[in-house]
Structure 1
Amino acid sequence: MNAPAVLGFATDQYHQYVINRAEYKAEYGHWQTLTLPADFRVNAVHASLLRTGKVLIVAGSGNDEKHFNAGTFKSLLWDPAGNTYKLIPTPDDMFCGGHTSLPDGRLLVAGGTQRYEKLDGAVKKAAGTMRVRNESPDRARTFPKGTVFVASNGREYATTAPVTVPAAVKTGSGSRTVVTASEQHVFVEAVGEGGDYVTDGRAQYRIKGLTSVDAHNLYGMSDKMTLEKQEYQGIRSAFEFNPDTELYEQVTDMAHARWYPTLTGLGDGRVVTVSGLDDTGQILNGNDNEIYDPKNKTWAKAPDRYFPTYPSIFLTTSGKLFYSGSNAGYGPADKGREPGLWDLADNTFQPVPGLRDPALTETSSSVLLPPAQAQKVMVLGGGGVGESPLSTARTDIADLSAAKPAFTPGPDLPAGGTRYLNSVILPDDTVFTTGGSSGYRGKSGSDLLKAQVYHPDTNAFTTAAEPAVGRNYHSEALLLPDGRVAVLGSNPLFADEANTTPGGFEQRIEIYTPAYLFHGDRPQLTAVPEGAKLGSTVRVGAARPEAVATAKLIRPSSVTHVTDVDQRSVALDITGRTADGVSLTLPDNPNLLPPGWYMLFLTDAAGTPSLARWIQVTG
């Protein structure tokens, strides 16, 4: 009766023996699992590598409504070098916001959660969008959260957030004066439960407590109040995380609330911000894109362009932005799904054709293949819109340097149809891909305990050691300065193959050590200047300069929902050698090498990388 257990134990023991052999590690690499003390475990929804080498792991409320209602928001700062960690005060719910590195090494975090979704049947109070209007040109008005709007039948609805309505716009003079009312929307909820508060027609509402002229000039308009499903809602808040003080610092709010936005750094150091669900749960329609200027910490309007949520948008050498088609979950299936090049200068969009399985780009992975000079973007896997059970093994590659860019087929993913795959650029000019599931959020036990390495030079995958922990929705992976890869998060819908037990959030961290770190001594960087200008030549110290085969600057990752538009590997020219170092020349194009902090890696002929040293690239 004990035979199966004995055989299972023996099989596991033999497996551990095999994967820990030196020959195995040298070919496939090696995994280790890190379990943090209970007080420091967080739901890793976002992960960003800082110029200090530490990883900022942001949970916010962590997809846990109990934490949201309690105002319990978490961030963890983890130092992989010494395996130390500390909790960071988190001033707002950054859950499902967006983020990117800034030129000075700070991390911009924008958006997050104002309100959790409520599914059909769970909505007890009728609710909807109230358009608050101001017909007075004299001044703007701000109304606090909880402001009550009263319908003609006396039913009352309260705002769930504060709202500021600009002053009306006055044009002309004398008898030709025209006043155009201003308008701002806010979500409202009935003060009582039940169907008596449901409305299905457009109506005007007075603001409780206003009298006389104010009551005439300020009022609400709404099309309907319903008990239908309510989507997540975003916030306008934005912060910079300071890696020196290790604290969040609030900056100017965005003009528009965002939940699931993408932030992409530009060659001039500014950041373009697109998409997301607003503060009423509606997907932004594309005329609300914004650009953040880190010099004065303010936002300005960006050109109009609609995208689904968390679109993968990469900066190209021309300064145009390439949308690969990858996205993460909200928006209609027939809008904004086509890949293409977006020119911010004239707001034109050039479609890039040829992507196979174009309806299966949701929860797919996209990566700017190394070196960035090649200007090739790869799309890997993906699934159908929403809770679709469909997934694809497709990989396709777009050569953006071509006169007429188009996708061409890459090799199929070895594990078959895969959603939520994480892709990480390695210093040896390969791409490590890991995890994912064949089904929506790992349903029916569909996590894929597989990893592989893509080789751009041969356009092929090779097998890597298998991870021990399944990863799907809300998972991340990023390159560490020592050449290893950290893999975090996962938020399966169910914990069993029968889909009967609710899933929990995976809080273990896995670290993958690539095979190249088992090939003997690694190159050594002995001295690096703190900064370098575009187009300049810098001298770096190296223990064995004659063995240095390549040099590259790798931008640190800032990843969420398997979306990482920050990471890129830029090859440097080796223009000289001395007895104790090499001279490296940087490209002069800020769209290829955007300003900011980078990891400098040297590799030998076998692809073994040095420990990275940090260097700031300036214009």
Structure 2
Amino acid sequence: MAQRPSRPTARKTLLGVAAAVTLAALNAPAVAGFAQDAYHRYEINQPEYKAKYGHWALASLPEKYQLNSIHAILLHTGKVLLIAGSGNNVKLFEGGAFKSTLWDPSTDTFKKIDTPNDMFCAGHAQLPDGKVLIAGGTARYEVLKGDVKRAGGAMLVKNENPDRAHTFPKGTVFRAPSGVEYRSQFSVRVPAAKKVPTGQGGNVKVTASEARVFVEAADKGPLGMTNTTEQYAIQGLKGEDADNLYGIANKLGLDKKDFQGIKDAYEFDPVTEKYTRVGSMREARWYPTLTTLSDGRVLAVSGLDDIGQVVPGKNEVYDPRTQTWSPAPTRYFPTYPSFFLTGRRKIFYSGSNAGYGPAGKGRKPGLWDLRSNTFTPIGGLKDPDILETSSSVLLPPAQDKKVMVLGGGGVGESPAATSRTAIVDLDAEHPAFTAGPRLPKSIRYLNSVILPDDTVFTTGGSRGYRGKGASDILKSQIYDPHKNTFAPAADPTVGRNYHSEALLLPDGRVAVFGSDPLFADRADSRAGRFEQRVEVFSPPYLHRGDRPDLAPGGRTDVEHGGEVVLRTADPARISRVRLIRPGSATHVTDFDQRSVALDITRRGNGTLTARVPNDAALVPPGRYMAVAVDTRGVPSRAVWIHASG
């Protein structure tokens, strides 16, 4: 891989700065360092440097709009929805202070958005009408073992009444035979018991229904601990209800309590700029993946449930027409698995994930057929046990069906990291990973963003878990799938690791958000601070002269297989048009981004037509950015298109 020289030669030298560097080097190292920094600042702002490596700049985010960006979603209005929820801040969680900010990159203006629930570590996906689905989030923060004051765990609430369901509010008291009391931490609804005919004289067999809820002992200390299965009376019930409804628990202890998810789901409307609550999921989820399917429905998988365990393969599908959820094929995955829609009801799982789950379960890459619920593993990947917090991207154009995996770390807080990249061709007769070019350093938390010129921009990351040991890597590079090589890009000035994300903007720039380091120094002796600055990268193509113009030439709503008319002053200048799905990113995973090549016909009257592929699995219904790229690789600003299916 070609390496960027530390000091590329400029055509003109700033003589005063060069003289200062020489003088300072002879007299005072501190002064020399200052002068070298001044020269570097001069050098990276030269046109020749920008045209080769691009350029970074900080967005002007006013203090009152600052937040811990956990999720970043590009909307079809061109604005970016930044969601923090409680932002990994337990004090904000306990105070109910949940945050979202709307950023308009074209005007660099901001707006606070009322946030109805803690969407911290939710899942999200673009919907066919341009709204965004956000599902899951935080019901409870983790509590480390030494800090757990009350015994707690899962309580199964049983109902033997076949004629009536029952809902218990948060705070319902369950009493053990010994008299120890436990309180539910959430409300719970228990369905009516099931009646099953026995076939003998019209008799029926009644099977108790059950629902699960997390409970904690009313009193602090070890007296609430139990390792035996017991039946618990529900306080406040009388008569038959007291007989038919009761709790069962196997273990209630002072063990570490993991994060717990919620079932709530919302749609965000980019036009009204408001959240609207929709039907709740069947399972609580924290760290779930949401994937838009070819029919516009959304698949939800994995996440931590309402007792802090990885959802055991109970997946579900959201229908935006009815705003309700229904069961999906059962299959287990670790949290935030990286999914790519590759066919009608077919999903490729790259093996990249964000962390929770055992090392030996659900981590092998493969193709998942939702119709038959079969999973075909795909091999050939070097360092398959170092996939956690790796980056995955569907290489452009999406028609090639090639997915790249970049970097990654070991499971949990493992110090292992890798510079490995690998590529799989899903169109091959027998798909298998093959080695790609190495990254400059072993790295995890790398963000990867598809650019309009069919390259992939990668940036940030760290060598250590959550940046431990001051291991953030201030490097960026651009991968060319055609050449299968990386080229160096300008160095960012802000380190990024855990809880970071990056998005392509409609004007061709890339915005990078967040970072949540554990520590703030090399010795890991000072607590880290969440990075709230937003840094924006202007790729080299934005520093190579004028850009091609592009505007709608008529209707922007197009069916699969249909054509859209675009206006441009010089159609002959345009070499290609790409349809780019707006990103929705969190935890270095982008749930939506893909770039689709369009067949174009140039017209002599200042127009061209672009045909959308007749394949809803390649172009899931929704809003897209149409971008024209000229013969120099310079993109136009985006025109928004609606692929309506």
TM-score for both structures, normalised by structure 2: 0.95
Counterpart in 1 of 2:73?
48
Inter-partner Cα distance in structure 1 for 2:381 and 2:166: 49
Inter-partner Cα distance in structure 2 for 1:333 and 1:425: 30
The Cα shift of 1:5 comes to 3.0
Q: Secondary structure at the match of 2:216?
A: strand
Structure 1 residue 194 and structure 2 residue 213: aligned?
no
Structure 1 residue 601 and structure 2 residue 627: aligned?
yes
The Cα shift of 1:530 comes to 2.0
Amino acid corresponding to residue 11 of structure 1 in structure 2: Q
Inter-partner Cα distance in structure 2 for 1:342 and 1:46: 26
Inter-partner Cα distance in structure 1 for 2:165 and 2:281: 18
Question: Which blocks of at least 5 consecutive residues in structure 1 are unaligned?
Answer: none
Inter-partner Cα distance in structure 2 for 1:565 and 1:578: 39
Structure 1 residue 236 and structure 2 residue 263: aligned?
yes
Structure 1 residue 95 and structure 2 residue 120: aligned?
yes
Structure 1 residue 180 and structure 2 residue 187: aligned?
no
Structure 1 residue 500 and structure 2 residue 546: aligned?
no
Corresponding residue to 1:127 among 148, 152, 164: 152
Amino acid corresponding to residue 10 of structure 1 in structure 2: A
1:294-318: CA deviations, max 9, x gaps? Answer: 0111100000110000000110035
Q: Secondary structure at the match of 1:342?
A: strand
The 8 Å contact of residues 367 and 565 in structure 1, kept in 2 or not, is answered as no
Inter-partner Cα distance in structure 1 for 2:633 and 2:620: 25
Inter-partner Cα distance in structure 2 for 1:126 and 1:5: 57
The 8 Å contact of residues 59 and 73 in structure 1, kept in 2 or not, is answered as yes
The 8 Å contact of residues 354 and 389 in structure 2, kept in 1 or not, is answered as yes
Inter-partner Cα distance in structure 2 for 1:90 and 1:139: 35
Moved over 4 A (4+): none
- Aligned ranges 1:337-376 → 2 under 5 Å: 337-376=363-402
The Cα shift of 1:35 comes to 4.1
Amino acid corresponding to residue 84 of structure 2 in structure 1: A
Amino acid corresponding to residue 178 of structure 1 in structure 2: K
Amino acid corresponding to residue 596 of structure 1 in structure 2: G
The 8 Å contact of residues 35 and 507 in structure 1, kept in 2 or not, is answered as no
The 8 Å contact of residues 450 and 466 in structure 1, kept in 2 or not, is answered as yes
Amino acid corresponding to residue 190 of structure 1 in structure 2: A
Corresponding residue to 1:403 among 419, 426, 429: 429
Inter-partner Cα distance in structure 2 for 1:3 and 1:134: 80
Amino acid corresponding to residue 76 of structure 1 in structure 2: T
- Aligned ranges 1:192-591 → 2 under 5 Å: 192-286=219-313, 288-317=314-343, 319-414=345-440, 416-528=441-553, 529-591=555-617
The Cα shift of 1:175 comes to 6.4
The 8 Å contact of residues 556 and 599 in structure 1, kept in 2 or not, is answered as yes
Q: Secondary structure at the match of 1:500?
A: coil
Q: Secondary structure at the match of 1:283?
A: coil
Inter-partner Cα distance in structure 2 for 1:40 and 1:31: 21
1:266-325: CA deviations, max 9, x gaps? Answer: 010001100000011011110x10000001111000001100000001100354100000
1:61-117: CA deviations, max 9, x gaps? Answer: 000000000000000000000001111000000000000000000000000000000
Amino acid corresponding to residue 363 of structure 2 in structure 1: R
1:318-349: CA deviations, max 9, x gaps? Answer: 54100000000100000001111001111111
Structure 1 residue 3 and structure 2 residue 28: aligned?
yes
1:557-605: CA deviations, max 9, x gaps? Answer: 0000011130000000112322311111111000001110000000001
Inter-partner Cα distance in structure 2 for 1:170 and 1:82: 62
Corresponding residue to 2:40 among 6, 11, 15: 15
1:515-551: CA deviations, max 9, x gaps? Answer: 0001111110032432111111222101111100000
Amino acid corresponding to residue 394 of structure 1 in structure 2: R
Structure 1 residue 31 and structure 2 residue 56: aligned?
yes
The 8 Å contact of residues 345 and 371 in structure 2, kept in 1 or not, is answered as no
The 8 Å contact of residues 501 and 513 in structure 2, kept in 1 or not, is answered as yes
Inter-partner Cα distance in structure 2 for 1:537 and 1:183: 53
Corresponding residue to 1:83 among 103, 108, 113: 108
Structure 1 residue 114 and structure 2 residue 114: aligned?
no
Inter-partner Cα distance in structure 1 for 2:44 and 2:515: 24
Amino acid corresponding to residue 374 of structure 1 in structure 2: D
Inter-partner Cα distance in structure 1 for 2:344 and 2:241: 52
With 475-484 and 524-533 compared, the bigger mean Cα shift is at 524-533
Change (3 A) 1:319 1:143: closer
Q: Secondary structure at the match of 1:216?
A: helix
With 572-581 and 131-140 compared, the bigger mean Cα shift is at 572-581
The Cα shift of 1:432 comes to 0.1
The 8 Å contact of residues 601 and 610 in structure 2, kept in 1 or not, is answered as yes
Inter-partner Cα distance in structure 2 for 1:88 and 1:585: 37
Counterpart in 1 of 2:183?
158
Question: Which blocks of at least 5 consecutive residues in structure 2 are unaligned?
Answer: 1-23
The Cα shift of 1:176 comes to 2.9
TM-score for both structures, normalised by structure 1: 0.99
The 8 Å contact of residues 572 and 602 in structure 2, kept in 1 or not, is answered as no
The 8 Å contact of residues 526 and 543 in structure 1, kept in 2 or not, is answered as no
Q: Secondary structure at the match of 1:9?
A: helix
Q: Secondary structure at the match of 1:188?
A: strand
Inter-partner Cα distance in structure 2 for 1:35 and 1:387: 34
The 8 Å contact of residues 598 and 612 in structure 2, kept in 1 or not, is answered as yes
The Cα shift of 1:256 comes to 0.5
Inter-partner Cα distance in structure 1 for 2:308 and 2:611: 48
RMSD of aligned residue pairs (Cα, Å): 1.1
Inter-partner Cα distance in structure 1 for 2:563 and 2:268: 31
Amino acid corresponding to residue 100 of structure 2 in structure 1: S
